[in-house]
Structure 1
Amino acid sequence: MVQNSYFFKVQNLSKSFGGLQAVKNVSFEVKKGSLTSLIGPNGAGKTTIFDLISGFIIPDKGKVFFKGHDLTGRKPHEIVSMGMARTFQHLGLFYRLSVWDNIFLALPGKKREQVLGVFLPQTTLRDEEKILRQRTKEILDFLGLTEKADEMVANLSWGDQKLVSIGRLLATDGEFLLMDEPASGLSDEQISHLKYLIKELISMGKTILLIDHNMEAIMDISDWIIVLNFGEIIAEGKPADIQAHEEVIRVYLGV
């Protein structure tokens, strides 16, 4: 099924785990080139929505559409190949490998790893290797990790490990990026750097759906905010509207 009137949309999405309904009839859209944030208390259903969107769990009902295509029930690797990728709260890095290797291994389309790769001319494989190495360097330069390219990821600070996870996200070359709590555990200086990187990604044409609890950062960088509580959307709007929303203040932001 193909529909072309929107970039990304979820429609009546619901998911229960036993007797707990984690997501209840959630519907929203994300505009191309925008930064939309999902916020709400712990347990509100934010990460479950990410899991439903990215194919890691299947909804009980509802649909997920991306660039007009119905993604509902597709496998995660299929969704990534269509241009959507995500990070995780638990970073899932190769901790015993270098920063360089973590980024390089996330790059798609390596011909030498395909079944017919053994039959390709060595010049073709060398050309591909050169392109992939250049792309890895570009990502490291963008993140400010070039000087740490040879360091083992296990030896990095938490903030730098977060940057490596973003680097692996960028390596997929996805146009729609889902970021799950990228500012969690970061210092003020690291959060400032993260905000700069996210704004740069938007200026480069990426579209971002973000989960985080750092309200100062959320209000600064978001174009649109969706607020969840007990698996339901209780408000959505521009940052100024959300900051003034009485129910959002009561259940999440505080006075």
Structure 2
Amino acid sequence: MANLTNKIALVTGGSRGIGAGIAKRLAADGASVAITYTRGADAAAQVVKEIEQAGGKAIAIQADAVDAKAVTAAVEKTVATFGKLDVLVNNAGTAIPKLFEETTPDDIDTMIGINVRGVFIATQAALKHLQDGGRIINIGSCVGERMMTPGLVVYAATKGAVKMFTQGLAREVGPRGITVNNIQPGPIDTDLNPAAGDWATPQIAATALGRYGHVDDIAAMVAFVAGPEASYITGANLTVDGGTNA
């Protein structure tokens, strides 16, 4: 497939897990891709290397999701390197699984800072450069719509905020032909949420399919929403969760 030929994409938090999978899939579909990372330069470099070895183009940029200057600079570098920006994927996010009574103010600040403020910052920076007809794709969570897993109260609240941000922004940028959509993963097997982890059992039990999903399941949905066949989809919350919210 080459649905994204000549498109330029920026994926925040693209050095591992879902973000790395998204970056590789967008590149496989023809896009030139920039990824940001906070820590783990080696992992980010490996993603770039894999994309380049497959014949694609990619760069990695160090930028903490909560640092407005760094994120703005990452957007500017993406445009300076590739000439424009067509797709922003707000993937950077974090969860700190704890019962709410045990969650500290620092935990709360971290999750709100990365999952909500970080999305706002990156989107504002990108909108100054995003091409008409472009794509903004947020990575939310199925728990942002229906909460079934204890220990994710604050995380769920931040993803609920992403859901409403998506719907509101879609109205504002629609006249430019820019679509804004929210992909809501269920339990996906990554380093942050392994299928064999301590919190896996209740998540598996909540799915209809009785298993975790794979990074490629999310990357495929992102690639579709980024492509030309999804031009009439905007303000949507697209859940990829194995039936968790069924």
TM tier, smaller: 0.3 to 0.5
- Higher strand residue share: 1
Give the structure-2-normalised TM-score: 0.34
Give the structure-1-normalised TM-score: 0.33
Q: Which has the larger radius of gyration?
A: 1
Larger RCO: Structure 1 or Structure 2 (Cα < 8 Å, ≥ 6 residues apart)? 1
- Higher helix residue share: 2
